[in-house]
Amino acid sequence: MTSRERVLAAINHQQTHQIPVDMGSNPSSGISAMGYTKLKKALGIESGHTRIFDVVQQLAQVEDEVIDALGLDIIDIGRVFNTADDDWYDITMLDGSTAQYPKWFQPLERGDSSNEVEVDGIVIARRPADGAFYDQTHFPYEADYPSDYSNLPEAMNMVLWQNMAHSPWDHAADDNFWVELRERTLKLRESTDKALMITCGCNLFEWGTFLRKLDNFLMDLLTEPEEVEGLLDALMEIHLQGLEKVCNTVGDIVDILRFGDDLGTTGGLFMPPDTYRELFKPRHAMLNDFVHKNSQMKTFLHSCGSIYRVMPDLIEAGYDIINPVQTNCFEMEPEKLKEEFGKDITFWGGGCDTAAILNKATPEEVRKHVLERCELFSKDGGFIFNTIHNILPEVPAENIVACFDAVKEFNGK
């Protein structure tokens, strides 16, 4: 069974002899650049480069040698762009290691050693001198909602998540982008048996927080639902136009399309379940329905936090996959999730706790933890091994190796 066949079988809830494994297929299942450099050293890999494909979160693009060493089964099609050495330039990371930024990303260095990104004289993102990530600093609709949404694309481009987008979207304005995307993805599919993923976002709740700011938008859900619906409808128009292009271009050759919308905190949902059902569920269903009707792709939702109380709604909305399965949150006990929802949705994550185990435990404790999670989640399919969200800079390399060695051990039984 090839990697692609194994991934699709798991998503279809078929029991496979080996659990499919992911690290780095999308910006919510990856590894920080500093962590990646340490991992390569631990694996004895001296070739290649630490290339930061996601500049906001400072995530490394996982190279073929590491993919093979860890036994990974899924890759992001964004890797078909920025393939030449002169598409990148060297930088020095906080720990003194060398990494590379894509050439298009040229942050401004400030006197206090912080970095900022300016657009039209407005600072939209900032990385503090001792910070490992970029933070959003500009919220286009913070003062109020606009009278109409004719300027929504421009407003969205003033948000770091869009302006500093990772591949392939950092090339979306190029001439012949869609033709190039298809041609390059076809070549990638022909050259690998890995499952292919494309990240499309199409966030709704999160775009509200990006544009209005989190505190404002949370209040708006309850006090100004008509304004919220107006924004969501405008976003849906843009999202569906983008999905149409994606489905027409690569919908027959990519296996998984990743959506994103963080709905939970560690302590519960951002909103009452009824608010989700009224404002977001119907629109999420429209997004899923469009992809399923116009492509072969399975739909993947990245949603952090405690989302147990809307899991039945996410299933009804049509999501095939949920990530990162944040089992250290309220009501997100892995046994309960598997028992109640394991037949209806695929868990992509939950394989190793990155907040308390991977970063703090011994390698042997990591091994035992991962083996327990594999045993629990793998029964009857519906499981792709992945850590709970991205692997951060401070995680010991020996623990990362122990994590993926444990999956190999389980798969070797």
For residue 142, the model assigns a pLDDT of: 98
The pLDDT value recorded for residue 92 is 96
Average pLDDT over residues 210-231: 98
Q: Which residues contact 289 (CB under 8 A, 6 or more apart)?
A: 318
> Using CA atoms, how far apart are residues 23 and 244, in angstroms rounded to an integer?
28
Cβ partners under 8 Å of residue 132, min gap 6 = 32, 34, 58, 94, 392, 393
Q: 254 falls in which pLDDT band (50, 70, 90)?
A: very high
pTM score above 0.95: yes
Provide the residue type at 264 as one letter: G
The H-or-E segment that residue 67 falls in is helix 64-70
Which residue, among 73, 69, 27, has the nearest Cα to 255 in the 3D structure? Answer: 73
Q: Any bridge partners for residue 98, and if so which?
A: 92
> Residue range 379-396: average pLDDT?
97
Block residue for tokens 């990697």: 3
pLDDT at 298 over 90: yes
Neighbouring C-beta atoms of residue 316, cutoff 10 Å: 15
Mean residue pLDDT of the chain comes to: 97
Q: What is the pLDDT of residues 23-79, one digit of tens each?
A: 999 999 999 999 999 999 999 999 999 999 999 999 999 999 999 999 999 999 999
Write the CATH number of the domain with boundaries 3-48+69-76+140-411: 3.20.20.210
Residue 194 pLDDT exceeds 90? yes
- pLDDT cut 90: percent of the chain above it: 99
Which position has the token pair 């919510």?
28
Average pLDDT over residues 348-366: 97
Residues 134, 160: contact at Cβ < 8 Å? yes
How many other CB atoms are found less than 10 A from the CB of residue 359? 18
pLDDT at site 90 = 98
Amino acid present at 7: V
Decide if pLDDT at 236 tops 90: yes
Q: What proportion of the chain, given as a percentage, has pLDDT over 70? A: 100
Q: Is pLDDT of 413 > 90?
A: no
Q: Mind listing the pLDDT tens digit for each residue in 140-168?
A: 999 999 999 999 999 999 999 999 999 99
Omega cis (within 30) before 168: yes
> Which residues, other chains included, contact 153 with Cβ-Cβ below 8 Å and sequence gap of 6+?
238
For residue 198 the two structure tokens come to 């494309």
Domain boundary assignment for the chain: 3-48+69-76+140-411
Residues contacting 208, CB < 8 A, separation 6+ = 217, 220, 228, 231, 232
